[in-house]
Chains A and B, each alone.
Chain A
Amino acid sequence: MLTTVDNNVDEIGFEISNQTLIKSQSLSFLIGEKKILSGISLNISKEEIVTVIGPNGAGKTTLLRLLLGLIPVSSGKIFRKQKLRIGYLPQRAVYNPVLPLSVRRLMNLTGNFSKIQIEASLDETGVKALKDKPVSQLSGGEYQRVMLARALLRNPELLVLDEPVQGVDYMGESELYNLIGNLRKKLGCGVLMVSHNLHVVMASTDRVLCLNQHICCEGKPKDVTQHPEYLRMFGLKTTNSMAIYNHHHDHEHDFSGKF
């Protein structure tokens, strides 16, 4: 089950710096006998952008759901800063147009925010003009920006974004990542996001976690892109495949991803 402990030290003396927003220790998640995730230890600090990448079925969304406390962990621990305010943008759900909902109403679905707060938040993500539009008429990019504004309403310390550029065209993608980067600076929040588009996301992220049921490699974007695990997973997109990498790896994958 989810364990939340004090800011600094938990009962087994696990050191957590006061910069830490959320931290996990040997987290695993099983469905029946099947291992979905295992041995996940990670740390997200204030004002840090961490991006999780990995192939389909790697457990990226499951990892977010575990960290958010939406599903119970099978083993391991999660430490969260006390009363951590999280803004969550889930993977885009299929919107049922039978539900008549305006953007303004959507913003207030689980909270009571004033008109001023809502408009300021929509302004932040550049979609204030859409405030009276029906949700069913939003384009992919508009929808994601509205949902991002919705996550911002809670004045989050940590933004959790699951594929934030889903359904957004290429130009919109880099714009949206820039926006997320700017928001981090402006609001001083940490960002944990899942992405599958490596090239665009690399520019605006501090740290990359390469996930395939476990953390295969992690580090700065430029290091990770030269890691053999990364190259095996995503193919050789770069000519200097012999480049030096400077972080540790301790296992190999075969072609089916087993190890």
Chain B
Amino acid sequence: MTLLDDFFWRAIIAGLGVAVLAGPLGCFVVWRRMSYLGDTMAHSALLGIALGFFLNIDLMIGVFAVALVVALILFFFQRQKMLTNDAVLGTLSHASLAMGVLIISLMAWIRIDLMGYLFGDILAVSLIDLYWIYGGGILILVILLMLWRPLLAITFDSELAQAEGISVLVVQLLFMLLIAAVIALSMKIIGILLVTSLLIIPVSAARSFSNTPEQMALGGALIGISSVILGLFTSLYFDTPSGPSIVIAAVLFFFAVQILPFKQFKY
């Protein structure tokens, strides 16, 4: 038994795929000040897992479906303009978390490794997960590539984008869909509670040396990849949960970048 244990390399390959997706998508989460939305969708993932067990379907599908429903409910309330986003998100976040825990506790016949789902487990990644991550990942990247320019315009000023002929509603809905998909794909490796960290921390680190939106996306992906590798090796050698190990690695990069002198980059 060596380093080349199957489960470990599956985890690495899964992690790399997720990190590459998290770069460009995470940029928009940060640019659009949506980190709390990501958190809410991540919390709703527990409900997705509970429903997945209950209905005996693939957990990723359960998580994706619930995240999507949460996004749609948020959309509805945004249009009502009665409550602020953070009030709606706070409600949805806790409602879904509570429902998830409730359903899990009612299913006494099932034993669930809650810690594993909350914080990630490198033993959890199966070959089928890899197919999902790479199949779905390529689809997500293709859609994101097509949405890149309109999303950027909406991020700058959505009314201006609409006035200049962009279908804001369609683009925003598709973007929500992509976020829900990425959360479902990265849940096993990072864990529910930390799933948005991979979306936010690497790109935030990349900001200080980026002059263009694309550089930031690419930089975020590279820092994400490095964090996954560093984190998973730590997890393997010290037997720590994979999610927190990856997050700590990303945070180290984040602070390292702040200290390094990037004065030549003026943007």
Question: Which residues in A have some Cβ–Cβ distance to B below 8 Å?
Answer: 65, 68-70, 86, 88, 90, 93, 95-96, 98-102, 105-106, 109-111, 134, 136-137, 154
CB-defined A-B contacts under 8 Å, sample of 21: A68-B163, A70-B159, A86-B163, A88-B163, A90-B163, A93-B157, A95-B156, A98-B204, A98-B207, A99-B156, A100-B211, A100-B213, A105-B213, A109-B152, A109-B156, A110-B149, A110-B164, A110-B165, A110-B166, A111-B164, A154-B164
A134 to B208, CA, bound (A): 13
Considering residues A68, A90, A134, A136, which has the most beta carbons from chain B within 10 angstroms of its beta carbon?
A90
Considering residues A65, A69, A109, which has the most beta carbons from chain B within 10 angstroms of its beta carbon?
A109
**Closest A residue, CB atoms, query B206:** A100
Q: In the complex, are the beta carbons of B156 and A98 less than 8 A apart?
A: no
B215 at the interface (CB under 8 A from A): yes
A114 to B157, CA, bound (A): 22
Q: In the complex, are the beta carbons of A110 and B267 less than 8 A apart?
A: no
Residues of B within 8 A of A154 (CB): 164
Q: Contacts A68-B163, A70-B163, A88-B163: A101 and B207 contacting too (C-beta < 8 A)? A: no
B212 at the interface (CB under 8 A from A): yes
B30 at the interface (CB under 8 A from A): yes
**Contact residue among B33, B204, B207 (Cβ-Cβ distance under 8 Å from A100):** B207
B207 CB, min distance to chain A CBs, angstroms: 6
Interface string of B159-173 (1 = CB under 8 A from A): 111111110000000
Q: In the complex, are the beta carbons of A65 and B267 less than 8 A apart?
A: no
B266 at the interface (CB under 8 A from A): yes
Q: In the complex, are the beta carbons of B267 and A134 less than 8 A apart?
A: yes
A134 to B212, CA, bound (A): 9
7 A-B pairs besides A70-B159, A99-B156 with CB distance below 8 A are A96-B155, A98-B31, A99-B213, A100-B267, A109-B149, A109-B153, A109-B156
B210 at the interface (CB under 8 A from A): yes
A69 to B211, CA, bound (A): 34
A158 to B90, CA, bound (A): 43
Q: How large is the interface on B (under 10, 10 to 19, 20 to 34, 35 or more residues)?
A: 20 to 34
A99 to B155, CA, bound (A): 9
**Contact residue among B150, B156, B204, B211 (Cβ-Cβ distance under 8 Å from A102):** B211
Residues of B within 8 A of A110 (CB): 149-150, 153, 160-161, 164-166
A35 to B247, CA, bound (A): 51
Residues of B within 8 A of A70 (CB): 159, 162-163
Residues of A within 8 A of B30 (CB): 98
Q: In the complex, are the beta carbons of A102 and B166 less than 8 A apart?
A: no
B216 at the interface (CB under 8 A from A): yes
Residues of B within 8 A of A137 (CB): 266
Residues of B within 8 A of A93 (CB): 156-157, 160
Q: In the complex, are the beta carbons of A100 and B215 less than 8 A apart?
A: yes
A69 to B204, CA, bound (A): 36
Q: In the complex, are the beta carbons of B153 and A101 less than 8 A apart?
A: no
**Closest B residue, CB atoms, query A88:** B163
A154 to B164, CA, bound (A): 10
Residues of B within 8 A of A90 (CB): 157, 159-160, 163
Residues of A within 8 A of B267 (CB): 100-102, 134, 136
A98 to B159, CA, bound (A): 20
Residues of B within 8 A of A101 (CB): 156, 212-213, 267
A10 to B207, CA, bound (A): 53
Q: In the complex, are the beta carbons of B210 and A88 less than 8 A apart?
A: no
B195 CB, min distance to chain A CBs, angstroms: 20
A88 to B156, CA, bound (A): 14
- Which residues in chain B, 1-48, are within 8 Å of chain A measured between CB atoms? 30-33
Q: In the complex, are the beta carbons of A65 and B156 less than 8 A apart?
A: no
Residues of B within 8 A of A105 (CB): 212-213
8 closest A-B pairs by CB: A134-B267, A110-B164, A100-B267, A88-B163, A99-B31, A109-B153, A93-B157, A110-B153
A99 to B33, CA, bound (A): 11
Q: In the complex, are the beta carbons of B160 and A100 less than 8 A apart?
A: no
Residues of B within 8 A of A99 (CB): 31, 155-156, 213
